[in-house]
Structure 1
Amino acid sequence: MKPILRKVDTGHNYSFSVREDIYPYLYNHWHYHPEVELTLIRKGSGMRLVGDSMERFDDGDLILLGADLPHMWRSDDIYFQELPGLQIEAVAVHFKSDFWGPGFLDLPEMKQIKNLLTKARHGIRINGQTCELITARMEAILKASPTQRISSLLHMLDMIANSNEYSLLSSIGFTNSYNIVSTDNINKIYTYTFNNFQQKITLKEVAAAANISPNSFCRYFKSRTLKTYWQFLLEVRIGYACKLLIENNMGVSQVGYTCGFNNLSNFNRQFKGLTNKTPLQYVKEYVTRSQLLAASG
């Protein structure tokens, strides 16, 4: 099936949507919509896929997505157990780039915001102090008056456009090559992988899950994601390993086996190849960074 087209309800009295979401977990499938999306993950953790980018998300994740850019958030496995007090909280703003009216973005004063929305076709992760400032405004816009909603959205976009504290997520190749209307079983592949990555996965098994012949599977997957399936599987496993390492409940060897690696040396090699750090270096840098943030707070 193709990426799911989602329709965003703006309500009867507003020109764009502002929404607070509280769920037991996120698993919104591989989807897209014509609206630009600004999403703050207030509380929660898991994997975020945007175009051909896959990264972990955690509390405070702030993402700007352009129109028709396929994406999904999937919560960590523990959220699917629906434990008391464990939930995902998010604030999302959806708007069409022309909701201000025709010609508005062509005004000379809007040049930087127009350029920002063009960059957002690849997905943008907002970081640093800019993230902190936008986060506060995302919370405030939930209670803003109708006029304040418009001015607040414009101000947030202006702050991002004039900042250098952001990075692009999806590659240029993905958005230039992806056929949004083509038949796509990518959701089946993602679902099978997230459910089974801790075990050995064979090409025959994952191809069968997507109803694709093994001979066609590798070419199919790479044409949709611009990466091999084995690279994608490695990113899923290393992403989960990063989570386990910072929770500090397991040794490095146990983490490696839990994430589907058959021996410690292979885990260390693959981890360093993807993160440019050994697992122990990753933990040490995380602890140091956490201590610095705690001291500055």
Structure 2
Amino acid sequence: MKAVEVHLPQDVDKSFIVFRETGDFFPAPWHYHPHYEFVLINESTGRRMVGDHIGYFQKDDLVFMGSLLPHVWVNDPIYLQRQATHKADALVIHFTDDFLGEFFMNIPEMKEFRKVLKLADRGLVLYGETRQKIITLIKQMPAMNGLPRLSALLQIFDIMSNTTEYDFLASPRFVQNFQYGASDRFKKITGYIMQNFDKDISLSEIAAVGNMGVTAFCNFFKEQFRVTFVEYLTTVRIGHACKLLSEHDRNIVEVAYECGFNNLANFNRQFKKLKGMTPSDYRKTLIIR
């Protein structure tokens, strides 16, 4: 079973990813990525494979995994056959070791957490009071923005730095023998998107950045990012729109065009689809009370 490199969409105005995975079952293949990852199961059951470890997951299962460690969560047949009474649901946090700058993880205050990052190379399943404290924080994070969101993650780092309530998953032999280099191709693609999202980007143009044909690129992008190129580009544009809306020096039409939308109605529709409210309502929520 060959592991594929997978990446979740990240808002342009956020330094790390908080992602909700929900559906009839968890669709991700056996995969890896350069990010560190927390996975919290809100609902559903099944088997999880982390490296060469196979275990069983259920509600409130919480795992922390290191960079490039291959893994997959496979739901029980009742979910795969769409016969469960509730959806599979999980919260996922992704961050890189330099998400707060090249030197952040090397400051003295992060000494103990650096040890945790090393332990996470094998994957850690958390239990006890540690698990309950972190679950409480993770469940609050989808509704958070700005410093409260970052503060919640740093609190999780602190909890992880002062606990022994975990078990290892993958064996040391597996970690030592498993080597993957993160692909430069996706870095070129995402870099190009971040520099040009305010312009029209054709499929042939972005495919050429990855040195691929259009069909191969579309398949690659969906496999790597779990969304289509258009969906990812829209997420980046809406994330930047949120930043511009918070600055209050542009009207909504200007924001739409600066983010690459040539049609205001489409901007409003896509914004509401991703954020659950119109751009004007979003701006109202940012007014200091």
TM over 0.5: yes
Contact 2:42-2:60 within 8 A present in 1 as well:
yes
Query: Which structure is richer in relative contact order (CA contacts within 8 A, separation 6 or more)?
Result: 2
2:58 corresponding residue in structure 1:
58
Q: Structure 1, residues 19-59: CA drift from partner, whole Å, max 9, x if none?
A: 12211012422100011111100111000000011100011
Q: Distance in 1 between matches of 2:121 and 2:50?
A: 10
Q: Which amino acid aligns with 1:68?
A: L
Q: Distance in 1 between matches of 2:64 and 2:4?
A: 19
Q: Which amino acid aligns with 1:108?
A: P
Contact 2:124-2:168 within 8 A present in 1 as well:
yes
* Offset of residue 84 of structure 1: 6.0
2:13 corresponding residue in structure 1:
13
Q: After the TM superposition, which residues 43-54 of structure 1 pair with which residues of structure 2 at under 5 Å, given as runs?
A: 43-54=43-54
2:59 aligned counterpart, secondary structure: coil
In 2 relative to 1, CA 85–155 (structure 1 residues): closer, same or farther, beyond 3 Å? same
Q: After the TM superposition, which residues 68-217 of structure 1 pair with which residues of structure 2 at under 5 Å, given as runs?
A: 68-83=68-83, 85-180=85-180
Q: Which amino acid aligns with 1:140?
A: Q
Q: Which amino acid aligns with 1:77?
A: P
Q: Distance in 1 between matches of 2:139 and 2:66?
A: 21
Q: Distance in 2 between matches of 1:144 and 1:99?
A: 18
* Offset of residue 87 of structure 1: 1.5
Provide the TM-score with structure 1 as the length reference: 0.59
Q: Which amino acid aligns with 1:178?
A: F
Contact 2:20-2:92 within 8 A present in 1 as well:
yes
1:237 corresponding residue in structure 2:
none
Gaps of 5+ in 2: 182-289
1:265 corresponding residue in structure 2:
none
1:3 corresponding residue in structure 2:
3
Q: Structure 1, residues 166-210: CA drift from partner, whole Å, max 9, x if none?
A: 1111111101012336xxxxxxxxxxxxxxxxxxxxxxxxxxxxx
2:156 aligned counterpart, secondary structure: helix
* Offset of residue 82 of structure 1: 1.1
Contact 1:27-1:75 within 8 A present in 2 as well:
no
**Percent identity of the aligned residues?**
32
Q: Which amino acid aligns with 1:111?
A: K
Q: Distance in 1 between matches of 2:44 and 2:87?
A: 7
* Equivalent pairs, count: 181
